[in-house]
Amino acid sequence: MRKTLLAAALALVASGCAAKRVTTDPPTERMAESQTAIRAAEQVGAARVPEAATYLGFAQQQVATARRLMDEGRYEAADLQLQQAAVDAQLALALARAVPLEDEARRMLEQVEALRRNPR
């Protein structure tokens, strides 16, 4: 089963690489997707989590670059920037959710360890 899934995934990747699409239209849909991903990351507080803020900043810069590329008619390059922006925004969103939970878990573990060392 795994071999079949792996073969299918490899075939899909290979076909995607072989069918490289030349973009002649502005990637407006990708722009909307990227902006939505950035807003989602901002709404969960990614700017306040240093690990997430870095990727949120990358995403915002990539969208700005994509806008400039679109103005220049370089739609394929803009599309690539927007793809990366969406991924970076999604990573910022995940980090904004995960890092505070990890910090809280670490604090709780420290409290448990302190109680084990010094029972009342």
Per-residue pLDDT tens over the stretch 26-72 = 999 999 999 999 999 999 999 999 999 999 999 999 999 999 999 99
Q: What is the pLDDT of residue 103?
A: 83
Mean pLDDT, all residues of the chain: 85
DSSP 100: H
Q: Which residues contact 94 (CB under 8 A, 6 or more apart)?
A: 52
Residue 77 C-alpha from the chain's centroid: 18
Q: Who wins on pLDDT, 115 or 20? A: 115
Helix (H) or strand (E) holding 76: helix 75-117
CATH number attached to the domain at 26-117: 1.20.1270.390
Instruction: Report whether 52 contacts 41 (CB < 8 A).
Output: yes
Per-residue pLDDT tens over the stretch 3-38 = 444 444 455 555 555 445 555 899 999 999 999 999
Amino acid at 63: V
Q: What is the pLDDT of residue 21?
A: 55
- Global pTM? 0.71
Q: What is the pLDDT of residue 5?
A: 41
Q: What is the pLDDT of residue 6?
A: 40
Residue 2: band (very low, low, confident or very high) from pLDDT cuts 50, 70, 90:
very low
